[in-house]
Amino acid sequence: MKRLLRLPSVWRLTLLFLIALAFQSCSEQKIKESTDETLNITEYLRANPDYSLFLEILDITNYASFMNTYGTYTLFLPTNEAVEAYMNDLGVNSLSEIPLQDLQDLAKLHILEQKVSTTVFTDGKIPTPSMYGQFLITGAANNNDVSSITVNKTANIVVSNVELGNGVIHVIDKVLRVAKKTLAEQIEADPNLSLFTEVLKATGWYDKLNQPVAYDENNVASYLSVLAQSNEVYNNTTWKKPDGQTITLNTLDNLKLRYSHLGDPTKAADSLNLYVQYHIVPGLNYLADFATTPVFLTKAPLEVITSKLVGQDILINEDVFNGVLEKGVGIIREQSDETCANGVLHYVDGNYSLKKRNPSPVYFDLCDQPEMANNVANYRKVGGVTFGFKMGEMKDVTWTGNTGYLMNWNPYGGGYNGDLWNVFRFRTGSGGLNDVEFTTPVIIKGRYKIWVAYRFSPDSKASGNTKVFFDGVQTSRILNGKERPNDPASTTTGVGDRVLESQGYKRYIFPFVAGDYLYSRLVGIVEVTTTGRHKIKFNTDACTGCGGGNADQWDMVEFRPVDMDQVWPKFRKGFKTAPGVANGNDLNGDYLISRQEADRGDNGNSGY
């Protein structure tokens, strides 16, 4: 210190300045990494006292920090009044009295790790699950002539689409509750399902539906979806016994008379046990899934149910066999989509049981992948742009080749559902992607012809030698993406449908547009030995002359029973939009068009 005082004053000032500068450089600096002044979610909550209680939940759980980081989150944000009502329900005076694990589960239920605005909400589940793992359900409600969006049937969105630096907020008037009851507990808690509960217990399925979620060696969860029947349904279901007496199936004894052919419902092969199995579908399947997926495998071995959307109704097992319509049963929308700890509960409005199923067509759009659907900003949206996936990012699609290349979703207005699956540089070696394998929807056992719809490449960048494998066995014909069928560019003259079919090709889109370059190739006939999901793989071992850029583009794969018409029905192009919004296809969302419908709207095209 004495030496410092003996220095000239100018030197002393300079030295003190350097010391101060050194201390400043060692102190913590708060650096804002964002490129604008938009608040992140946590900053927004701290700036708005109306949401202080949910902010306290985030602080207690240590989630406030990551909700302030870069990302694309969606937060369903309860108001202070909503959190206070939640605390009153629990009988606590402060959030600190609630177990930490419960608060963590609660917070994660309100957060999605993807930005989802109300413009993409539908009457059903949001495609992206919450951080807790359970899906949220949105719908519409009308109270006192005021419409609002509901979440999980209990909360109303009071403020929507608050855009922030790392996501979007929707303010809700009730706290969302984590589903803690198992399927068995949820069913037993409803007095209108008392007989269904009895049947579950008599067959041993109550205990199975009361198990927590487990994961197998492939990390597949044991979630189940149950289609339950109410007491009212059973009160209106009768059966004529062999002796001519008609009884009502509204008691367990009468149900045993009708279905238990072995006399022991606990045996898996007993018809009453199979009856229950036929009401259980593996996986988390919400109304949105039943509305869009035509066939579901059930817990009954090799047995499926069919599902179709007719207007606003979702019908189970409403099918035409040998020209006869078999009436199905409807899923009751208002009561269904009930999330449970180990699955989803639905209610149906009628009794249904096992039916013998004949082979049925499966129209597999390759872009019907959940990972693609999660890109809500682009997937099948007006103005949507191409996006892609790296190896390992898709659950039901695998491929080999260059790890830096992507499988892409491509918008294409001429295709079925308005999109194409694009394989970037489909070729051998490290300079491309070598093979692609898809898991199909459920196919009922039987004999089928396989048609692969593709966009012929006018610039010859596609693979000319694509082999197709079904369940590991190569089909009889090669797919040549460079090959255009013997079909003139004119749509008013040329080869007819049946001649084209005899050559192993067809025009699958109606009306046909030559400039869209879309055709379908028959790659072989296969015997599907078991009802279920299967594997179809595309492999190339040569790609001479392939250029850079886009290579092979595929639209859909059709599995048509061999005794079915292979040309009709055809498909409309474009993607579905809201009613009244034109997009190139019919406005009621019907993608299939029969020959009779085409003839009624015939445009003079002799090719049909």
pLDDT in tens, 526-568: 999 877 789 999 998 765 555 544 578 999 999 999 999 999 9
Q: Are 128 and 114 in contact (CB under 8 A)?
A: yes
Helix (H) or strand (E) holding 585: none
Neighbours of 14 (CB within 10 A): 12
Q: Taking residues 582-591, report their average pLDDT.
A: 42
Total-model pTM: 0.64
CATH number of 362-600: 2.60.120.260
Site of tokens 């595929």: 554
Q: Fold for domain 41-172?
A: FAS1 domain (2.30.180)
pLDDT for position 444: 85
Q: Taking residues 505-525, report their average pLDDT.
A: 92
- Biggest CA pair distance of the chain: 123
362-600 shares the fold of 41-172: no
Own/partner pairs, 41-44, CB within 8 angstroms, 24+ separation: 41/67, 41/68, 41/73, 41/75, 41/164, 41/166, 41/167, 41/169, 42/67, 42/68, 43/68, 43/165, 44/162, 44/164, 44/169
C-alpha distances (whole Å) from 408 to each of 31, 376, 552 are 37, 15, 11
Helix (H) or strand (E) holding 335: none
Structure tokens at 35: 């490129």
Query: Which of 186 and 492 is assigned the larger pLDDT?
Result: 186
Model confidence at 488, pLDDT cuts 50, 70, 90, reads low
Q: Are 373 and 127 in contact (CB under 8 A)?
A: yes
Neighbours of 607 (CB within 10 A): 18
Q: Give the whole-angstrom CA distance, residue 210 versus residue 224.
A: 11
Q: Is the pLDDT of residue 578 over 70?
A: no
pLDDT for position 93: 95
pLDDT in tens, 117-156: 998 887 788 988 999 989 999 988 777 667 789 999 999 9
pLDDT for position 603: 41
Q: Is the pLDDT of residue 490 over 50?
A: no
Report for 301-305, 334-338, 448-452: range of highest mean pLDDT: 448-452
Q: Are 187 and 217 in contact (CB under 8 A)?
A: no
Which residues, at least 6 apart from 557, have a Cβ–Cβ distance to it below 8 Å?
364, 366, 438, 440, 450, 451, 452, 453, 536
pLDDT for position 561: 96
Lowest mean pLDDT among 190-204, 231-245, 256-270, 416-430: 416-430
Structure tokens at 9: 């004053």
Q: Give the whole-angstrom CA distance, residue 407 versus residue 381.
A: 19
C-alpha distances (whole Å) from 172 to each of 46, 180, 189 are 18, 21, 27
Mean pLDDT over the full length of the chain? 86
Domain map (residue ranges) of the chain: 41-172, 183-348, 362-600
Q: Taking residues 465-473, report their average pLDDT.
A: 95
pLDDT for position 601: 62
Instruction: Answer whether CATH 2.30.180.10 is correct for domain 183-348.
Output: yes
pLDDT for position 532: 74
CA angle 496/500/503 to nearest 5° reads: 150
Lowest mean pLDDT among 24-38, 56-70, 169-183, 369-383: 24-38
Lowest mean pLDDT among 187-191, 425-429, 479-483: 425-429
CA angle 187/188/194 to nearest 5° reads: 100
Q: How many CA atoms lie within 13 A of 364 on its CB side?
A: 23
Q: Is the pLDDT of residue 25 over 80?
A: no
Query: Which of 358 and 247 is assigned the larger pLDDT?
Result: 247
Q: Taking residues 216-238, report their average pLDDT.
A: 94
Q: Taking residues 215-237, report their average pLDDT.
A: 93
Q: From 414, 421, 307, select the one nearest 372 (Cα to Cα).
A: 421
Structure tokens at 339: 């999330």
C-alpha distances (whole Å) from 168 to each of 42, 114, 116, 132 are 12, 9, 7, 18
Q: Give the whole-angstrom CA distance, residue 263 versus residue 256.
A: 8
C-alpha distances (whole Å) from 337 to each of 141, 178, 197, 401 are 16, 14, 19, 41
Q: Taking residues 448-477, report their average pLDDT.
A: 90
Q: Is the pLDDT of residue 593 over 70?
A: yes
Which residues of 283-414 form beta strands (DSSP E)? Answer: 295-297, 304-310, 313-316, 319-321, 324-326, 329-330, 338-340, 343-348, 362-365, 387-389, 397-401, 407-411
